Structure 1
Amino acid sequence: MAAGAEDALEDGAATPAGDRSRDVLEYLARSLTDEPDAVRIEESPTRNGTRLSLQVAPDDMGRVIGRRGRVAQAIRTVVRAAAAAEGRDVSVDIVD
C-alpha cells in the first residue's frame, strides 16, 4: 500500500474513494512479481464503475496469471471485494 493509505488505515480513517482497491491490486501484484518496480496500474472509468489495467514485466506474466488463470481470478476476486467494501464496482484487466 502507499504510505499515505497505510497511515490512514492505521488511524482508522477510510482511504479516499478508489484508492483501497487500487492499493490492494498494487500490493498483490508487487508481492507476486520478481520485478515489483515494473508493476503499472492504469485506472479508467467505465459505464458500470472503474477498470484497473495491470501491466507487469513480461517475465512475470506467468506468475500473475497462474495455471489456468487461477491466480488472475483470485486477484480479481480480492480487488472486487475491496471495491465492494467502498460501494464501488471495479474490474481488473491484465494487459501485456
Structure 2
Amino acid sequence: MKALIESIVTPLVDFPEDIVVTETEEETKIIYHLTVNQDDVGKIIGKNGRIAKAIRTVVYAAKTDANKRIYLDIM
C-alpha cells in the first residue's frame, strides 16, 4: 500500500525525495501518514480537497484486509 501511495503522489510534487509514508496498525484500523515537503502540501490537497479525496478513494478501494478500516492522513 505504501508503494501505491508513493506512486500516486510522486508525479504531483516538486520534491519527490521528501515523500515519506509511514504505517500505524491497530486492531481495527490501519493508518497511513503521508508527509511531503511544505511547498507541496497544497498540490496534494488540491482545490477544496479534491486531489486528497481522490487519493483516499483509490487507497480505500485497494485495501486488502476486509476486517480493518484504512485511513490516510496528509501532513
TM over 0.5: yes
TM-score scaled to structure 2, two decimals?
0.88
Partner in structure 2 of residue 41 of structure 1: 21
Considering only CA atoms, is the larger Rg found in Structure 1 or Structure 2?
1
- 1:50 aligned onto 2:39: no
**Greater strand content:** 2
TM-score scaled to structure 1, two decimals?
0.70
Tell me the percent identity.
Answer: 34
Aligned positions, number: 73
CA RMSD of aligned residues (A): 1.2
Partner in structure 2 of residue 82 of structure 1: 62
CA distance, structure 2, for counterparts of residue 81 and residue 24 of structure 1: 12
